[in-house]
Amino acid sequence: MLNKYPMWKNLLVIIIIAVGAFYAVPNLFGEDHAVQVVGTRGAAVTPATESQVEQLLASKGIKIKRSELENGQLLVRVNNAEDQLLAKEAIASTLGENFSVALNLAPATPAWLEKLGANPMKLGLDLRGGVHFLMEVDMSEAIRKMEDAKVADFRSQLREQSIRYAGAKATPKGIEVRFRDADTLAKAEQYLKTHSNNEMVFTDTSNGDNFVLLASMSEQYLRQIKEDALTQNITTIRNRVNELGVAEPVVQRQGAERIIVELPGVQDTARAKEILGATASIEFHMVDQKTDLAAAKAGRIPAGSEVYKRREGGEVVLHKDVMLTGDHITGAQPSFDQYSRPQVSINLDAKGGSIFSDVTKDNIGKPMATLFIEYKDSGERNPDGSVKMNKVEEVISVATIQARLGRNFVITGLTHGEAQNLALLLRAGALIAPVSIVEERTIGPSLGAENIQNGLQAMIWGMAVVLLFMMIYYRAFGVIANLALTANLVMVVGVMSMIPGAVLTLPGIAGMVLTVGMAVDGNVLINERIREELRAGRPIQQAIHEGYGNAFSTIADANITTFITALILFAVGTGAIKGFAVTLMIGIATSMFTAIVGTRAIVNALWGGKRLKKLSI
């Protein structure tokens, strides 16, 4: 029998469209004003916190719509923006500094829908307002740091093996280790090579009486360093973003050395930038007491020492070897000492604690310096367009070690503001290499709402005209095509809401609008074919059958080629363009389904197998 679908095929069409529609539904509910509470600095949000907040808001007369505690984050929904602001202030002042309280818009999807995994589409920054940063990691600095570490490493290895070397230093060509004779050089090369894990490539660059071993990083090791620097920086920035108390931030890598940071709802870009991009860290060095400051300044300085500036003025000679870096710091709180001078209390991890207790034990009575290192945007640019960063190193305190120090101690010598910033930065971890902001976009919240409004308007107008035209031109088949078009739009929204990574952007809305216009193509191809067959004098059932059959390969070919371009857009595009490509790809897939299978099911159900004299097309 012609034009009859088996039951399973009809069911399949119904189920697929129903699933699409089900997941599209959450988008109808809009958003609730909400306040988000996250614990920072080791504090956690518990059910006790939740009831505390609930009681607090009840006492203030603020009605709570719903409150949820999930993944250590409390979300309190209120009725309007006014209540939201009041609630935020009340909660922030009551819970204190250990919690970050942020304004948020939470989808107003009913709980039972959410349980089934149905959530509304995520909106891009251009639709909800906020800041977008693209940050670039200064890889040359990451590599330089690693070279310094290697120099220290070589020195201690050679010393342990009692191989005498004349000097080791990092040069632009690589790390140069000098020796007095060829034998020691060969011995050292042999030893270092076997203990380098293929990280370094060694070449003997001796000439005449100069016995020099040059160690340069292998390609693979360089790649590894860059990769590590990027992942480490992403982790650090993620921590810092959490400290900022922003709802639903995005921190993502892009390519080999860039990081995308998106902070919805943030308008104060200056503070965000200061915290995200700050590359402050501290190092502890022993003071070189043997070297005279005047002599050192005149240039007579031992290889292992260097002159550093002191914050309060003057200079001091320190050993270059770092006793402890900021990497081992697990906690840092600003506080005041008994003379109400600002200080930062530091907690170290186990390894840091044992290193620190060892060195302080051996150095009781000797002065130790805290070196504060910061990279600052100089406002200038390198010839390649990247931001020039200035490295500022300052000794913030020199203190005599009184006793063996353990995992907890304090740093003094800072101003109040500095103590607070340093504590925040140390808590959130140090950036392994400085970052610079290469792209920044701030979108006002009103602009976001305007963009949504515009997009919807365009969609409604475009859709209305197309639906009207199809109905008039193809009559019954036009109405069926319109059903398919509507189902298609619902399915695009449904699929967009289902895919966790898909984000709706303004170009994404444009993609949807365009899909409406282009999705008609499948139906037009089919309907025109059916008309042709009818004109050629075929019986009606035959004409429908042939029309669908003949149009199929055309639709497939045409759509696959468009899909290829969308795929390429997705691969090379960033942000908004990716959003456009995603909607276009989804639109192509769903429109093929609705045009070919969806309308066929309806046509078959209505007319399949019946004797027809006329077809309304």
Partner 1 sequence: MLQILSFKGSVNFLRHALPISIMSLILVVLSLVCLATKGINWGLDFTGGTSIQLTFSKPADLSSLRDTLDNEIIAGAVVQNFGSSRDVVVRLQTKEGVKSDDQVKLVLSAAKAQDPAVEQKSVEFVGPQVGKELAEQGSLAVLVALICILLYVSFRFEWRLSLGAVAALAHDVTVTLGLFSFLQLEFDLTVLAGVLTVVGYSLNDTIVVFDRIRENFLKMRKATPTEVVNTSITQTMSRTIITTGTTIITVIALFLKGGTLIHGFATSLLMGITVGTYSSIYVASFLAIKLGICREHMMPVQVEKEGADQPSIMP
Q: Which is it for strands 503-504 and 122-123: parallel, antiparallel or unpaired?
A: parallel
Q: Which is nearer to partner 1, 293 or 471 (CB)?
A: 471
- Residue type at position 374: E
Q: Which is nearer to partner 1, 58 or 572 (CB)?
A: 572
**Count of CB atoms situated within 10 Å of the CB of 276:** 24
Positive or negative: CA dihedral 102, 107, 108, 111: negative
Q: Which is nearer to partner 1, 79 or 565 (CB)?
A: 565
Least distance between partner 1 and beta carbon 10 (Å)? 17
Least distance between partner 1 and beta carbon 534 (Å)? 8
Q: Which is nearer to partner 1, 100 or 541 (CB)?
A: 541
Helices 445-498 and 599-607 pack at an angle, to 10 degrees, of 60
Q: Which is nearer to partner 1, 360 or 451 (CB)?
A: 451
Q: Which is nearer to partner 1, 224 or 442 (CB)?
A: 442
Place of tokens 């007319």: 607
Least distance between partner 1 and beta carbon 113 (Å)? 30
Least distance between partner 1 and beta carbon 492 (Å)? 14
Three-class secondary structure of residue 257 per DSSP: coil
**Count of CB atoms situated within 10 Å of the CB of 595:** 27
* Euclidean distance between CA atoms 579 and 168, whole angstroms: 52
- Residue type at position 216: S
> 57, 113, 119: which is closest to 89 by C-alpha?
57
Q: Which is nearer to partner 1, 369 or 576 (CB)?
A: 576
Question: Exposed, middle or buried, 335 (CB in 10 Å: 0-12/13-18/19+)?
Answer: exposed
Least distance between partner 1 and beta carbon 461 (Å)? 4
Least distance between partner 1 and beta carbon 139 (Å)? 13
**Count of CB atoms situated within 10 Å of the CB of 197:** 8
Going by the DSSP 8-state scheme, the letter that residue 310 receives in this structure is B
Least distance between partner 1 and beta carbon 588 (Å)? 9
* Euclidean distance between CA atoms 547 and 231, whole angstroms: 56
Least distance between partner 1 and beta carbon 533 (Å)? 9
DSSP string, 505-529: -HHHHHHHHHHHHHHHHHHHHHHHH
Question: Exposed, middle or buried, 558 (CB in 10 Å: 0-12/13-18/19+)?
Answer: middle
**Count of CB atoms situated within 10 Å of the CB of 70:** 8
Least distance between partner 1 and beta carbon 507 (Å)? 6
Edge-to-edge strand order for the sheet containing 367-381?
324-325, 281-286, 367-381, 387-400
* Euclidean distance between CA atoms 139 and 63, whole angstroms: 51
DSSP string, 553-585: HHHHHHHHHHHHHHHHHHHH--HHHHHHHHHHH
Question: Exposed, middle or buried, 349 (CB in 10 Å: 0-12/13-18/19+)?
Answer: middle
* Euclidean distance between CA atoms 509 and 63, whole angstroms: 35
Q: Which is nearer to partner 1, 212 or 518 (CB)?
A: 518
Least distance between partner 1 and beta carbon 528 (Å)? 5
Least distance between partner 1 and beta carbon 576 (Å)? 7
Sequence-distant (≥ 6) Cβ neighbours of residue 92 within 8 angstroms:
99, 101
Least distance between partner 1 and beta carbon 526 (Å)? 10
Least distance between partner 1 and beta carbon 378 (Å)? 9
- State the greatest distance between any 2 C-alpha atoms of the chain, in Å, as a whole number: 111
* Euclidean distance between CA atoms 314 and 335, whole angstroms: 27
